[in-house]
Amino acid sequence: MGNRSGLTGSYSLALRATALANARLEDPADVWVLLADQPWLRDIATEADLHTLRVAGHRLREVFQTVTAGHEREAVDRLNGLLTRYRVRPTISGTYAGDWHIHVAAPGTPPVEYLAAAVWGLAVWLCQRGIDRLGVCAEPRCHNAFLDDSSNRCRRFCSDRCATRNHVRAHRARRRATHP
């Protein structure tokens, strides 16, 4: 599995980027769903933040789709563009000498910093684990972005549910072909 905490908790931040890429941000209530684990952030999110998160989510989705299409350099260029646009402002936090650690989006920061942290986490995770660890679900009715944290780098579906749905459909199609 490797080190999921890594620099600034890159795995959890990369999961934020994945959630943002998959989010349907059509109205402010959708922001509340996206930020369910960040109540301090939900309370300060505005209509302008909805638009910013929607645009960034679309661009993050394009990163995953470009990787899945086999265009790694283009995906890295797109992610670099997001890193340029949404810069992190790291701060050192802690209460005593053994507790110092870096935050890239601390409680009380605006949603754009949440976004910057997500983009940063995805970039760090990509560099630590490899670009082939980004994917888009192979289930024809899904297409969610996901992080492949499997031990053999072979994940094709965003969830067990999508994998099962796909395998059952393939099984039924084979049965129909052999038993008309």
154, two tokens: 């072979």
Per-residue pLDDT at 5 exceeds 80:
no
* Burial grade of 177 (CB within 10 A; 0-12, 13-18, 19 or more): exposed
For the chain, list the strands marked E by DSSP: 91-93, 101-103, 134-136, 145-147
Q: Tell me what the pLDDT averaged over the chain comes to.
A: 88
H-helix or E-strand containing 103?
A: strand 101-103
Confidence band for 4, pLDDT divided at 50, 70 and 90: very low
Q: pLDDT of 48-107, one tens digit each?
A: 889 999 999 999 999 999 999 999 999 999 999 999 999 888 888 888 888 888 877 665
- Report pLDDT for 1: 37
DSSP state of 66: H
How far apart, in whole angstroms, are the C-alpha atoms of residue 94 and residue 33? 29
CA distance 22 to 43: 22
Written as one letter, the residue type at 143 is H
pLDDT interval class at 17 (50, 70, 90): very high
Selected residue with higher pLDDT from 40 and 126:
126
pLDDT of 26-36, one tens digit each? 988 898 889 88
109, pLDDT greater than 80: no
pLDDT tens digits for range 126-179: 999 999 999 999 999 999 999 999 999 889 999 999 999 998 998 888 888 887
What is the Cα gyration radius of the chain?
18
Residue 71 half-sphere exposure, CB side, CA atoms within 13 Å? 11
